[in-house]
Structure 1
């Protein structure tokens, strides 16, 4: 399972507020099978098989165009670890254990 951090920025929207675009993109993610996701203040974390994540990224990238944006900039970071199952929460818990000296 892979983990991706995705940030989609609609450009040419006529407003500095992007929350309606973000809400639309979260609705799009609800339709993508085989992934889990978490909205953060600066992007979205998506977990699942790499192919499903890439399908989700494509759907997210297209969403602002449907909402009227004239340009979209999308940034993606992917952590694809194949020696063990990894989750976003598991990565955080590993660091927290090390902070506690465990």
Structure 2
């Protein structure tokens, strides 16, 4: 399973507030099968197989256009570890264990 971090920025919205677009995009993710996701203050973490992550990112990218945005900028980072299972939580737990050692 891979982990993706995506940030979608609608441009040309007429307002500096983007929370309504973010809410719409979180609703879109509810309909994408085969992934888990978590909203953060700066983007969304998506976990699942690469094809499902990419399908989710495509749906997220299209969402602001459907809501009236004239331009959309999307950034995606993928961590695809294949030597052992990895989740966003397991990555954080690994760092937390190391912090406790010292």
- Structure 1 residues without counterparts, runs of 5 or longer: none
- Structure 2 residues without counterparts, runs of 5 or longer: none
Counterpart secondary structure, 1:55: helix
Pairing of 1:1-102 with structure 2 (within 5 A) = 1-101=1-101
Shift of 1:4: 0.4
Superposition RMSD in Å: 0.8
Q: How many residues align structurally?
A: 102
**TM-score, normalised relative to structure 2:** 0.99
Shift of 1:42: 0.2
Shift of 1:91: 0.1
Q: Where in structure 1 do 4 or more consecutive aligned residues deviate above 4 Å?
A: none
